Amino acid sequence: MRISDCGFNEILNKALVTGDLSREEIVFLLSLEDEADVKRLLETADAVRQACVGDDVYIRGLIEFSNMCARNCSYCGIRADNPDVHRYRMPIDEIIETAEHVVSKGIGTIVLQSGEDPWFTADRMREIIRGIKARADCAITLSIGERTYDEYKAMKEAGADRFLLRHETAVRSLYEKLHPDCSFDERQRCLNDLKSLGYQVGAGCMVGLPWQTVEDMAEDIVFVRDLNADMVGIGPFIPHPGTPLGDHPAGTLAQTLKMVALARIATRNGLLPATTAVGSIDPFGREKALKAGANVVMPNYTPLKYRVDYEIYPDKKCINEDPEQCHGCMQARILSTGRTIGTGPGHSLKHLR
Ligand code: SF4
Cβ–ligand 1 distance for 73 under 6 Å, the answer yes
Helix (H) or strand (E) holding 191: helix 184-196
Q: Is residue 350 part of a domain?
A: no
With a 6 Å cutoff on the Cβ, whether 115 touches ligand 1 is: yes
Residues near 82 by Cβ (< 8 Å), separated by ≥ 6? 242, 243
Number of domains the chain contains? 1
Nearest alpha carbon to residue 128 among 102, 92, 84? 92
Neighbours of 352 (CB within 10 A): 8
Range of the domain at 270: 5-345
C-alpha 115 to ligand 1 mean position (Å): 5
Is residue 87 lining ligand 1, measured as CB closer than 6 Å? no
Distance CA 217, CA 263 (A): 11
In a domain, 129, yes or no: yes
Q: Quick one: pLDDT band at residue 2, thresholds 50, 70, 90? A: low
Q: Could you tell which of 62, 79, 176, 183 is best to mutate to test the pocket of ligand 1, judged by most ligand atoms within 8 Å of the CB?
A: 79
Q: Is the pLDDT of residue 327 over 60?
A: yes
- Residue 351 within a domain: no
25: pLDDT confidence band, cut at 50, 70 and 90?
very high
Ligand 1 center to 186 CA (angstroms): 15
Q: Is residue 244 part of a domain?
A: yes
77 in ligand 1 pocket by Cβ < 6 Å? no
Is 352 among the domain residues? no
* 147 belongs to a structural domain: yes
Q: What is the CATH number of the domain that holds 198?
A: 3.20.20.70
Give 328's pLDDT tier (boundaries 50, 70, 90): confident
For residues 299 and 330, what is the distance between their CA atoms, to the nearest angstrom? 7
The H or E element that residue 30 is part of is: helix 23-30
**From 62, 73, 87, 120, mutation site for ligand 1 pocket: most ligand atoms within 8 A of C-beta:** 73
For residue 152, give the nearest of 202, 197, 200, 201 by alpha carbon: 197
| Å from CA of 85 to ligand 1 middle | 13
Residue 15, CB-side half-sphere exposure with 13 Å CA sphere: 30
The crossing angle, in degrees rounded to 10, of helices 23-30 and 5-17 is 110
Q: What is the pLDDT of residues 105-156, one digit of tens each?
A: 999 999 999 999 999 999 999 999 999 999 999 999 999 999 999 999 999 9
d(CA 271, CA 319): 24
- Each residue of 275-326: pLDDT tens digit? 999 999 999 999 999 999 999 999 999 999 999 899 887 777 777 777 777 7
Q: Whose CA is closest to 202, among 163, 151, 248, 251?
A: 163
Asked whether residue 353 is assigned to any structural domain, the reply reads: no
